[in-house]
């Protein structure tokens, strides 16, 4: 498989590890109670959003800046990346998240760690309700990402990274206000994966359909041929646009 032999592929996988590690480090760090004063949800949400925007801008041209397994799964459902790449991306993201949490644990004083911002289910919120909220929040995030990074747009207004960052901020604000903190892993895996798949299908087949045949989609999923930007180098010196399909 050509991706396995490509240095650009391994750089992209490492970029996903690197980006997710710092995203978790900054996000979880902001969620910890460093002072005895009130805990402002807006501060935590802004930290997650600005961290996402910064990291997407930093590694977007290398890997696409997914830093989220649900986003990678959405691109897989939309036939915009190979299954092989998606598996390695998700593995790198999970390892990066563990590394970021471990580093934060190591540098946080014992009297401030608490439960390390562990998610807990609020009273009166069922697993189904919480999962539904995760579905909707991830769906809006994926639609935003697909829309602002779509190369078919005639013109892009503003920064794609900032747009995605604000979407992350809104998601964290709505998530905390609606279902608080969730403790069951299935909520954070099932909900986002369903939401990511729904967002990909909604955008690619209804909102702004991609006119591609089944054979072309299968070729992308199997990774039987490299993307165009893997084989063609732009030598004009123009600014690099953030793209979700990695180099």
Residue 111 lies in a domain: yes
In a domain, 47, yes or no: yes
Contact 242, 56 (CB under 8 A): yes
| Structure token digits, residue 114 | 């608490």
| Structural tokens at position 91 | 């593995």
Could you tell me the two tokens for 201? 């299908």
10 Å Cβ neighbour count for 107? 9
pLDDT for position 146: 94
Q: Which domain holds residue 146?
A: 2-222
The rounded mean pLDDT for the chain is 82
Tell me the pLDDT tens digit for each residue of 75-91: 999 999 999 999 999 99
Q: Is 192 exposed, middle or buried (0-12, 13-18, 19+ CB in 10 A)?
A: buried
58: exposed, middle or buried (C-beta count within 10 Å: 0-12, 13-18, 19+)? Answer: middle
| Overall average pLDDT of the 95-105 stretch | 95
Model pLDDT, residue 233: 41
Query: What is residue 237's DSSP assignment?
Result: -
Element (H, E) at 15: helix 7-31
d(CA 144, CA 164): 7
- List CB contacts of 2: < 8 A, sequence separation 6 or more: 223, 225, 226
Task: Judge contact between 161 and 56, C-beta under 8 A.
Answer: yes
Burial class from Cβ neighbours inside 10 Å (0-12, 13-18, 19+) for residue 150 reads middle
Query: Are 48 and 172 within 8 A, CB to CB?
Result: yes
Q: Is the pLDDT of residue 175 over 80?
A: no
29 domain-assigned: yes
pLDDT surpasses 70 at 227: no
- The verdict on residue 125 lying in a domain is yes
Q: Which residue has the higher pLDDT, 110 or 99?
A: 99
Please report whether residue 55 resides in a domain.
yes
**pLDDT digit string, tens, across residues 15-63:** 999 999 999 999 888 888 777 777 678 888 899 999 999 999 999 999 9
- CATH code for the domain of 44: 1.20.1080.10
Residue 34 lies in a domain: yes
Question: Which spans in 81-180 are helix H?
Answer: 83-107, 110-113, 127-148, 160-179
125 pLDDT exceeds 80?
no
Considering only CA atoms, which of 221, 174, 220 is closest in space to residue 44? 174
Q: What pLDDT does 121 receive?
A: 66
Other beta carbons within 10 angstroms of residue 228's beta carbon come to: 8
Q: Is 244 contained in some domain?
A: no
Inter-helix orientation angle 83-107/69-77, to 10°: 170
What percent of the chain has a predicted confidence (pLDDT) above 90?
Answer: 46
- Does residue 238 form part of some domain? no
- pLDDT at residue 30 in the model: 87
- What is the tally of structural domains in the chain? 1
């Amino acid at each position: 498989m050509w991706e396995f032999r490509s240095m650009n592929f391994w750089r992209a996988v490492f970029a996903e590890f690197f980006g997710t590690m710092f995203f978790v480090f900054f996000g979880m760090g902001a969620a910890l109670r460093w002072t005895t004063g009130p805990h402002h949800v807006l501060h935590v949400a802004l930290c997650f959003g600005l961290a996402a925007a910064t990291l997407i801008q930093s590694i977007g041209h290398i890997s696409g800046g997914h830093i989220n397994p649900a986003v990678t799964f959405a691109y897989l459902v939309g036939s915009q990346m190979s299954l092989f790449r998606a598996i390695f991306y998700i593995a790198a993201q999970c390892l990066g998240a563990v590394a970021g949490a471990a580093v934060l644990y190591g540098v946080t004083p014992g009297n401030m760690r608490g439960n390390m911002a562990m998610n807990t289910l609020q009273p009166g919120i069922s697993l189904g309700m919480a999962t539904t909220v995760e579905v909707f929040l991830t769906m809006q995030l994926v639609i935003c990402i697909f829309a602002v990074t779509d190369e078919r747009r005639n013109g892009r207004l503003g920064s794609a990274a900032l747009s995605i960052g604000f979407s992350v901020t809104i998601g964290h604000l709505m998530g905390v206000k609606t279902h608080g903190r969730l403790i069951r892993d299935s909520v954070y895996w099932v909900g986002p994966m369903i939401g990511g798949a729904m967002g990909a299908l909604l955008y690619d087949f209804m909102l702004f359909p991609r006119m591609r045949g089944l054979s072309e989609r299968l070729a992308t999923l199997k990774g039987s041929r490299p993307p165009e930007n893997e084989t063609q180098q732009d030598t004009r010196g123009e600014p690099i646009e953030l793209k979700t399909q990695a180099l």
